Each structure stands twice: as C-alpha cells, then as structure tokens.
Structure 1
Amino acid sequence: MAINLMDLEPIKASTDLSSYTAFIYGIPKIGKTTFIHKLYGSRVLFIATEKRHKVLVGANVQYVSTWTEYLTVLAQLRNPKIKEKFDVVAIDTVENLYQMLEQYILAKYNKTEFGQVDWGKDWTDLKKDWKDGLQMIEKLGYTPVFVSHATQVNVKIPVAGILQEQVNDTMTLVEDKKTKEQYYEFTKYVPDLKDKVMAPINKMVDNILFMTLTTDERLQEHRVIHLRETLQWQAGSTFTGIAPVVPLDAEAYKKAVSDAIDLIDDSQKKEERESTGMEEETLNFDELMAEAKEIAFKLHQAGRMDEVQRIVDETFGAGNKLTDATKHQAQPLFIAVQKLKEIQ
C-alpha cells in the first residue's frame, strides 16, 4: 500500500449502524441473540456454538462444533457472493469458541493440558490463533459482533478512590482489621471470560452492551441495555453523546445511536460503511500447497499417510491426490491444510 500524507483525509463517522463492532453480554435468557437478529435482520450471519436457535425464525445460523469448522466458515466468507448476503458476523458465544480452539491446539500437539510443549509453543499458538481468528472477520470486510454471558465479581475500592456521588445502597463499607483502611465492597457485572480471552475483543469493538433486568419505583421489572461504564457493570460506547441506558429493544437502541450520531456535525459524517481495505484478500495457493506438502511429508515419515488420504478424500473427493489440486481449488486446499494441522 502506497502512503501519501498529502492525500490524507480526516476520519468521518459512519451513519451505518452495521459498520460498528460490538460486544454484547448479559444475564442468561435476557434476549441477546434475539436482539441481534432484530437489529440486523437477514444481514447478520450467526456462527453458533450451541444448538439453541430453533425458534429464531428467519435467522441465518451456521452451527460449528470445532475450531476447524470455524475456519471452514471463515474460508467461505471470502466468497464475493457470500459478501453480498451479509454485513455482520455474530459469534454466539465467544467462550464456547475459545474452548474449541483450546481443544484444537491440544490435539495438534497430542497433549491433554497446556504447558506440556517445549518453549510454551502451545500457549503461543493459542494466543496468536485466537487473535488472528477473530480479526479475520473484520479483515474480510464484515462487522464482528461477539456474544457472551455475564458473571458477577467482588470488588473492593478504597474510600478515597470513590466519589461520594458514586456511593449507593449496593455498597458495603468495610474496614481492614490490620491496616484500618476503609473500603467500599460491592459486586460488579463483567463478561464471563478470562482476561486473555477478552483482551483482543476489547481492542476490536466500538461498543460494549450490558443487558440485564432492572426495576422501577413500582417494583416492575424491565429489560434494559447499559451503554456506559459504572462501578456496577462494564459497558461503553464509541458515541460520546449516547444515552447511558435504553430499553432492551432493537428500535430503541437504533434511536439511541441515531440520536448520538445526530450530535456530530454533518460535515463529519458519511453514509457508507467503513472499509477495512482488506476485503479483496485472497488465498495464496502456492503458499498453501507448500504448507500442505510439508505437513503431508512429515505425516508420511510417521507412517500416517492413511490419515492424510482420508482428509484429502473428505475435502476433494475419493480417489484424488493432494498434489493434483489446482489454483481454482484454493478454498478447499485451505480447509485441507487446517485439517492436516489438526492431526499433525
């Protein structure tokens, strides 16, 4: 890519809701998946890790049960005809997909737990493959939306670290018996993900939506979306003027985003989706073939050519040879390489 600072133009805010990445989490059965379906309609592809979408009528759902199947979906997302169908790819749920990657890495090294591979290569692969696997969605020109469950953690903050207006009746004032220092102790809602799982997602998303139940002054329950961080929950938005809380409803959220965008000067807005500049990324057939041959050769030396042939049969059809693949078969070759890596 040629760089010319003379042609540099200031960033403008997109008015297209589907161009903004999001992380959505909340309490069980609150309606996270239904919300996403109503928000994006037929333009969202759900990569589902659980078979619980049977009543989500009209939704486009692809179930995956292994990391290899996830890679297969990514390979097909490169297809221009697929790109015409979808704008958004939703991972539902993140924690299950991460577990599939863990199983994939352990199987690759024929281990039962992490930390058994020299130089920590299993941990290195886990971190890199997780980051690359998630970022690939955006690199291919789609907007990623990640879904997770919520959990509560105990938090202790020194009295001096909290503004008086932040104190509420959910907090308990406690004193350390040894130091006599006073703390406010309370629970906070956060995504039910380890830091290493959440880290790359946090860097990718524009908006973090927390969905939960609340009660009004008449003690009636309401489902809401929190869009701003507080001491009690993790949330956040790229829109500085967005409402902190809205009803858990796709139209209400659209209006909140629209109202926030309206606060931006018209000269600083654009209607089209943000381009990643990588939508035309293609598979390099020669590199894939070289990688496939290298892995197949190692497996041949180990007397495992029957496993190689099984994968070739599954991918290209019975009776075909790996070396007979043509450049028009780059996509199935990509899948074959991923399967070979899994048994390596």
Structure 2
Amino acid sequence: MYINLNDLTPNKVSINLSQYSTIWMGDTGVGKTTTLMKFLKELSPDKEPFFLEFEDRYQNIPGIMAVKIDTMSDFKSVIGQLRNPVFKEKFSCIIVDTLDKYEEFCERYVLENRDAEILKDVGGFGEGSLRFKSALRNIGVIQSLGYTVHSIAQSSHSKDFDTKKESDTLKLNKNTFSYCRESAYLVGYMWKDSKDERYITFKKTDKYPDLKDTFGLPEKINVKELKTVWTKAVQDLGGDFTTKEKTIDKKPVAENFEEVKAKGVELGSLLFSNGHAAEATAVLQKNLGLDDNGNVKMFDSLRDSQIDLTKVIVMELQELVDKFAIK
C-alpha cells in the first residue's frame, strides 16, 4: 500500500516499446493514421490499437478500430467503458486523432455550455482557460486507467519573412502543446517521399522546433525500420541496465478503501484510549477540516474517491502510535 525504500533497485530501461507515449505530426494526407496503426500493431500483434477520432478522415482506413467522438457525453461514455479491465486485454493503447481537432472539441464544449464566443468571455479570472484545461485533462484520465496514449497532430508550416527560415510546428495552442508534449517520450514529424516511403524524425531543429527525442534516435528513420532502430537505441542507452519487462506500470493499483479506512479507525481508537485524543483530533482537523457546525470531521465523512487522503491520514496516525510506543 505504501512505498518501501528497502525494495528500491537501480532503474532499468525497457525495450518493451508499447509502454512509451508518442506524438506523430505531419501534413494532411501523408498517411499518419494508417502508418501509426500499422506500427502499433507491429509492437503488440495480439491486441488492437484503439483510435478516438475527432474527425471523419479515418473512415477510409480498412480494419481500423475506431470510434467517432462528437460530444463530451460520447467521450465520457467511452472513458467509462475503458474502466472495464476487459478492454485492457483487447486494446494495446489509445490514440487521440487528431490533437488539433481534440483541442477544438474541448474549446467548443466550454464555449457552447457557457454561451460564449471566446474563452476570455467565459466568466472572470481566467475561468474559460481553466475549464478548457479541465476538459483537456481527459487524456490524463485515460492514462490513469493504465493505457498508453498516443496522439496524431497536424503540422503547421510557416516561413519567417526576415530570415526566410521555414519551420513545421504542432498546430496547437500553448496549453494543449505543453500538456501533451510533456508526457510524450517521442514527438516526431512524418513525411513521405516520391516512392511513397514514410520517414520520421524526432530531432529538434530550427525546422522542427517542437520535436522530442528521449532515446537518441537517428536523424531520419524509415517507419518500416522504426521498431528495430528504436529498440537498438534503447539497448545502447540502457547498456547493462536494459530489460525486456515493462518498467512503466500503467496498471492502476486496486486498493480496498474500506480496509484503509478501517485501519485509520483502529489507529484513532488506540490513540483515544491511550490519552492522545488531542493529537489524533489535530491530524483529522488538519486533513479534513471542520463541518458546518464547527466540529472536526471524522472518518465517516470520507468517500472512496478520497482513498489517497485516507492513506495520508492513516500514515500520520501510525506515526503518532509509533511515537508514543502504543501497542
């Protein structure tokens, strides 16, 4: 239930590539969705990548496992179903297609429900931006369910009139950009040549300022060779500290709220019966506060969604029991 530093071991880098979140950007029509689908199937042949589609372009892709998201209620319904462990065995990962359309989706949801034209018109003190960020974080909810989340994004091409330098960037606002890029291990730009071969680069340059390479990959990679090249890069990076096992545990730890709560009640009773009611009450007041009548809230006010808070209270009560050497 709690972290035990005695179990700490040196970190190992895993060649199980299915656990690393990525963002694939590129021009419209370059084949990002199809190419990413084939690559993800290569990583996990026994499962299907599941695409959350915020536009209709996927409908000409044979065999894709996808659902069109039109409303927030659609999205919440899908997230609710993904909580079922059955789908962890069916889907290898979740893909947001595309990030820029997802961004529009979240912004539209906020504006339509607040009858506003722009986010600045939604309440005061930046309420519009806060509500937009809240909608955006549904990606984090999916990740918290134990799924690796990948994203596809359209690129935006620009040219500086003074320097004449050209660049391709993610077509996203700063909130979406920072939130999604931060959690990704790789952010790549994909293109195709005259022979219809797909290539990808993860090297951040003046031309591609938004890219991200955590593993030291080559500058240009044929997508057909990406798994082999990426695996070798991880092996070179990890050396003796390389493993085939997953090192990123995306499975949420199931804990029994009632058992944790019962432990807290037990510790509180020990403190009360041994003359340390004031100290135990101080822990409850600090963490739970007072009710409408000015009384300190007790354990019966806790809900199962507050299991982390309950665990903190239990740890602090345990520290008191140890401090006073109560058996």
Give the TM-score, by structure 2 length.
Answer: 0.70
How far apart are the structure 2 equivalents of 1:149 and 1:72? 26
Q: Residues 77-128 of structure 1: CA distance to partner in whole angstroms, max 9, x if unpaired?
A: 1101111101210000111112121122123323333223133322211123
Among 155, 180, 187, the residue aligned to 1:201:
180
Is 1:120 the counterpart of 2:126? The answer is yes
- Give the corresponding residue for 2:74: 69
**Deviation of the 1:253 alpha carbon:** 0.9
Among 141, 145, 166, the residue aligned to 1:187:
166
Identity %: 23
How far apart are the structure 2 equivalents of 1:118 and 1:235? 35
Q: Residues 116-166 of structure 1: CA distance to partner in whole angstroms, max 9, x if unpaired?
A: 313332221112331x2111121111111011111123358xxxxxxxxxx
- Which secondary structure does the structure 2 equivalent of 1:6 belong to? helix
How far apart are the structure 1 equivalents of 2:82 and 2:253? 10
- Give the corresponding residue for 1:152: 157
- Give the corresponding residue for 1:236: 212
How far apart are the structure 2 equivalents of 1:256 and 1:282? 43
Letter in 1 for 2:27: I
Is 1:12 the counterpart of 2:41? The answer is no
How far apart are the structure 2 equivalents of 1:281 and 1:155? 54
How far apart are the structure 2 equivalents of 1:213 and 1:237? 20
- Give the corresponding residue for 2:306: none
Structure 2 segments unaligned to the other structure (5+ residues)? 42-46, 258-327
Letter in 2 for 1:67: M
**What aligned pairs does 1:1-344 form with structure 2 within 5 A after superposition?**
1-41=1-41, 42-116=47-121, 117-130=123-136, 132-155=137-160, 184-213=163-192, 222-233=197-208, 234-240=210-216, 242-247=217-222, 249=223, 251-263=224-236, 264-272=238-246, 274-276=248-250, 278=252, 280=254
* Alignment check: 8 A CA contact 2:15 2:235 kept: no
How far apart are the structure 1 equivalents of 2:169 and 2:256? 37
Letter in 1 for 2:183: M
- Which secondary structure does the structure 1 equivalent of 2:2 belong to? coil
How far apart are the structure 2 equivalents of 1:53 and 1:213? 19
Aligned pair in 2 of structure 1 residues 194, 120: CA closer, same or farther (>3 Å)?
A: closer
**Deviation of the 1:260 alpha carbon:** 0.9
* Alignment check: 8 A CA contact 1:141 1:279 kept: no
Q: Residues 27-66 of structure 1: CA distance to partner in whole angstroms, max 9, x if unpaired?
A: 1111110111111224210001122223322221111112
- Give the corresponding residue for 1:291: none
Aligned pair in 2 of structure 1 residues 35, 222: CA closer, same or farther (>3 Å)?
A: closer
* Alignment check: 8 A CA contact 2:143 2:149 kept: yes
- Which secondary structure does the structure 2 equivalent of 1:190 belong to? strand
How far apart are the structure 2 equivalents of 1:133 and 1:274? 20
- State the 4+ residue runs in structure 1 displaced beyond 4 angstroms: 279-283
* Alignment check: 8 A CA contact 2:95 2:152 kept: yes
How far apart are the structure 2 equivalents of 1:122 and 1:6? 46
* Alignment check: 8 A CA contact 1:67 1:97 kept: no
Letter in 1 for 2:11: I
Letter in 1 for 2:73: T
* Alignment check: 8 A CA contact 2:54 2:105 kept: no
Q: How many residues are aligned here?
A: 250
- Give the corresponding residue for 2:44: none
How far apart are the structure 1 equivalents of 2:39 and 2:116? 42
Aligned pair in 2 of structure 1 residues 202, 30: CA closer, same or farther (>3 Å)?
A: same
Letter in 2 for 1:80: P
- Give the corresponding residue for 2:317: none
- Which secondary structure does the structure 1 equivalent of 2:29 belong to? coil
Letter in 2 for 1:64: I
Aligned pair in 2 of structure 1 residues 229, 125: CA closer, same or farther (>3 Å)?
A: same
Over the residues paired in the alignment, what is the CA RMSD in angstroms?
Answer: 2.5
